[in-house]
Amino acid sequence: MKVSLIIPMYNESSIIDGALDTFYNFLKGKYEDFELIFVSDGSTDGCGSPVKALSESDPRVRLCEYSPNRGKGYAVRTGMLAATGDIRIFTDCDNAYGEEAVGRLADEMAKGEYDIIVGSRNLSSDGYEGYTKIRKIASKVYIKTISVAAGFKLSDSQCGIKGFTAEAAKRVFDNATVDRWAFDLEAIMIANKQGFKIGEMAVKVINHRESKVHVLSDSIKMLRDVRLIKKRLKKTELK
């Protein structure tokens, strides 16, 4: 069974060497058949260069790049549709949840019980370990608000690590159109409409970066996006 790991990135020159080394050595040590795909989303700092250099000696490492910047959703969609793995996982370049979570997610996907598995910080008591109290509350409120609006029963739709079977990845992302932050919501809403079975797996953040989420303003934007996605999906016949 082939595992594809997709890493979207935008101007990550400060961490790319560590990320490339960590993910590559992890996959090489755990799987006989894998591919590691970094998607440079219009980066201008040369962060794709180390990936390109490694790909020349190991074709299991691939770089997808384009210009200009299109957004994380576009980058994930590009990687998912370019991948060839039976299991396709995406996570962030900062390895927020650790490579161990990637391995657990791949193992859970391999059991064949779910078409899609979403990481969740809300399934264990240490999921928000290291968060300030205010940031933890803000994150939970934000997630709950948009999940209720979108009609999800998932506990953490915005978690940055998710796994798909090859079929689910192709059918979901072939129908996806959102290029930026609401892409997670759109992907799950499409998957629900297509009848894919979605599960959750407990994760916790082990590598912290400053949050870019502003609860009030971003919640308003996401609620607007949910409304637009619902309207589009209601009118659209999916592939």
3-state helix, strand, coil in the chain (%, to 5): 45, 15, 40
CB atoms within 10 A of CB 72: 22
Give the pLDDT score at 195: 96
The answer on pLDDT for 210 being more than 70 is no
Helix ranges restricted to H, the chain: 16-30, 49-57, 72-82, 99-110, 133-150, 166-174, 183-194, 215-235
CB atoms within 10 A of CB 5: 27
Taking the C-alpha atoms of residue 51 and residue 20, their distance in angstroms, rounded to an integer, is 7
CB atoms within 10 A of CB 126: 12
Taking the C-alpha atoms of residue 77 and residue 136, their distance in angstroms, rounded to an integer, is 29
Name the average pLDDT for the chain: 90
CB atoms within 10 A of CB 145: 17
* Tens-place pLDDT, residues 163-181: 999 999 999 999 999 998 8
Give the pLDDT score at 165: 98
One-letter identity of residue 151: G
CATH of 3-235, one of 3.40.50.300, 3.40.640.10, 3.40.50.720, 3.90.550.10: 3.90.550.10
* Tens-place pLDDT, residues 136-151: 666 666 667 777 776 7
Beta bridge partners of 45: none
Query: pTM for this structure?
Result: 0.90
Give the pLDDT score at 54: 98
